[in-house]
Amino acid sequence: MFVSGLATNQDVNIHYLDTLREADHRLTPIVICPGLSEAAEEYEDLLSYLLPRRAIVLSFRGRGRSDTPRAKYDLEDHVSDLSAVIQETAIGSFHLFGNSRGVSYALGYAQKNAKQIKSLIVEDYPAEHKQMTAEWADDYINQYLIPTGRNKLIRQQAVKGIQRDSTPIKLDGKLELPALVIRGLLEGSLLSEADVLQYGDMFTTVKVEAFADSGHNIRNMERDKLYLTIKQFLDEQEG
């Protein structure tokens, strides 16, 4: 079902999955930016769910089957990974979806390429690129990645590169796009009321969907509702 490909970003190979072969090309495709430690393969069920709409998901540098460079893990480097996949897959207009830290990468791309994008979906993350603290990498690796087995999906070199290279950037420039803002309501959500209001100021129209039984990890807690919400929003944009 999936085309598995590599896009070359200078000397870094970026892996992606694409439902090109099964897609109805009358529908606008969607490009998916996973969260910080996520790999493309974790979105296979969503890609299948969204058929016959074409969907493309990438593993950013240091994750999944993508290369792990020694340096260059700031916002612009991740945005360039996304750009390479968009160029490699030769899509024109598309919807763009970012989950968690992937929201930063999606917004970073959208700020410079809004004319390509039909709509934007942001899941539980504010309109900014955050700088990580000096203690973050070791804590993230030892207290989260290793205990959960997610160290198989993101290399420690990438985690330490993100800590070393990330700079804080506001990504709240106005975008003439419709947007879907997805947020959890329980403890652990990374999207505050103020963040939601900020999104309201950024986009031409904003639809907010709250998930009462989720904190930050909405896909694990309310997957069926999440996927239906995304699909219905995309279908509405085709009208």
Q: For residue 62, how far is the Cα from the chain centroid?
A: 15
* CA atoms of 32 and 57, how far apart (whole Å): 5
- 179 has a pLDDT exceeding 80: yes
Q: How large a percentage of the chain has pLDDT more than 70?
A: 100
* CA atoms of 58 and 8, how far apart (whole Å): 12
* CA atoms of 218 and 182, how far apart (whole Å): 9
What pLDDT digit, counting tens, does each position of 77-116 carry? 999 999 999 999 999 999 999 999 999 999 999 999 999 9
What pLDDT digit, counting tens, does each position of 108-163 carry? 999 999 999 999 999 999 999 999 999 999 999 999 999 999 999 999 999 999 99
What pLDDT digit, counting tens, does each position of 12-39 carry? 999 999 999 999 999 999 999 999 999 9
Tokens representing 73? 């893990």
Smallest CA-to-CA distance from 127 within 34, 191, 59, 41 is with 191
pTM over 0.85: yes
DSSP 52: T
